[in-house]
Amino acid sequence: MSRLGLVDMQTGTHNGCGPLIAPMSESLRPLRQRVFEGVRAAGLIPRVQLAKDLGVSPASVTTITSELIESGLIEEVAAPRDNDSGRGRPSVGLGVRPQAHLVAGMKMSDREQSAVIVDFAGNLVSDEVIKRRPGPMPLPEMLDAMDSLLNRVCQKAGLGRADLSSVGVGLPGFVDNSQGSVLWSSTLTDRNVALAEAAQQRLGLPVTIDNDANLVALAELWFGAGRSLADFAVVTFEHGVGMGFVMNHRLYRGSQGLGMELGHTKVQLDGALCRCGQRGCLEAYVADYALAREATTALNWGHRDGQPTAILLESLYEHAKSGDATARSIFRRAGRYLAVGLANVVNLFDPALIILSGERLKFDYLYATETLAEMDNLVIDSGRARPPIEIHAWGDLMWAHGAAALALSSVTERLLSTQREAMIA
């Protein structure tokens, strides 16, 4: 990510986190929430500037920020001044109080599991990554893994579990965020699992879950390239293919919470078998297991059965780099299918930016010049330039940061809703 913490330790500047929403664009949302989110996004902001950005009176901002200060959610911070002569009263800005709450974010994969702890202002406190044997697991094993991972990241931070206010969890598959359930995931042997409730009972903390690709989009929205964009798409490449889509500065999940499953859009009728059980999915041609399957057949690597997929892919990539025509054709074919998927994203949503994210993007044949040129041929010819594409080959902690943003959002909503209810009562 371009920025994992909010305070630049060299300059002392506060960068903030969360969406940078244009002034006056969300006047229908509760003012208390807009004030808090404005402070959080700015990192450090004077009251008068906050009032100007929100288009409300300074008196209203003073009243609300005083209540937020009293409740311990934000604080006054001495702001640096240009050419400070030391005379007069120092400038004072508002910032989120970092120690108000701590949250954890975890990515549960069938191969790696990662976790971070961040404070209420989004600063990274600690992180942890655990490798595990590939393959799905039953729910009890998944809960054991969550418990162990949370203990390790807390121990690394010198914290107890009771110091946390919430946990966000991401995993691949069809995840219903609002219901806290997993309809299907490559990480679980069972379907229709009430994972959030089970994890909450096991961990003893509020738990919110979501699809892992959504969490990469959240990470970009809160900490990365998407902070100032109203609409953008993130397409992820790891052990599968996923997509998160931000619309009007908010994650879009669809009416039933299961939208944006780009990896399971069909690109070939009666095509290759996908791990979801259907055929012809984009993922079945682009994901790591698809490339490994192609390599095993086309390169006669049957003797390598049982080798980890990562090793097979590294070998395939080296063959392609050294000029092996068959290896290159495997990446070329995957790239063509990827071009179809990306063109469909552009034709359907017209995002301001498409971010290709994930460790697998070190295999640059997937987004070679030929692939992007083919995508251009498939995009509607409107006479205008297509959306720009950025490559973010981040490590596994990117997903965990998105899960932490999910937990921060949950805590914030809970706290501000409680305050509103208290005022009404």
Residues 6+ apart with CB under 8 A from 409: 218
CATH 1.10.10.10 residue ranges for the chain: 1-98
% residues pLDDT > 90 (the chain) = 63
Q: Can you give the pLDDT at residue 302?
A: 67
CATH 3.30.420.40 residue ranges for the chain: 100-217+398-420, 229-394
CB-count exposure of residue 306 (10 Å: 0-12, 13-18, 19+): exposed
* CA distance linking residue 280 with residue 290, whole number of Å: 11
* CA distance linking residue 392 with residue 383, whole number of Å: 28
Q: Which CATH code for domain 229-394?
A: 3.30.420.40
Q: Can you give the pLDDT at residue 418?
A: 66
Q: In CATH terms, is domain 1-98 a member of 2.40.50.140?
A: no
What is the CATH architecture of 100-217+398-420? 2-Layer Sandwich (3.30)
The CA R_g of the chain, rounded to the nearest whole Å, is 23
Dihedral over alpha carbons 265, 267, 313, 307 (to 10 degrees): 80
How many other CB atoms sit within 10 Å of the CB of residue 381?
A: 8
* CA distance linking residue 54 with residue 403, whole number of Å: 28
**Lowest pLDDT segment from 230-244, 311-325, 361-375:** 361-375
**Lowest pLDDT segment from 6-15, 123-132, 354-363, 378-387:** 6-15
Contact criterion met (CB below 8 Å) for 339 and 372: yes
Global pTM reads 0.87
Highest mean pLDDT among 16-30, 158-172, 245-259, 407-421: 158-172
424 — pLDDT class (breaks 50, 70, 90): very low
Q: Can you give the pLDDT at residue 51?
A: 95
Strands 74-78 and 92-96, sheet pairing: antiparallel
Backbone angles phi, psi at 137, to 5 degrees: -135, 155
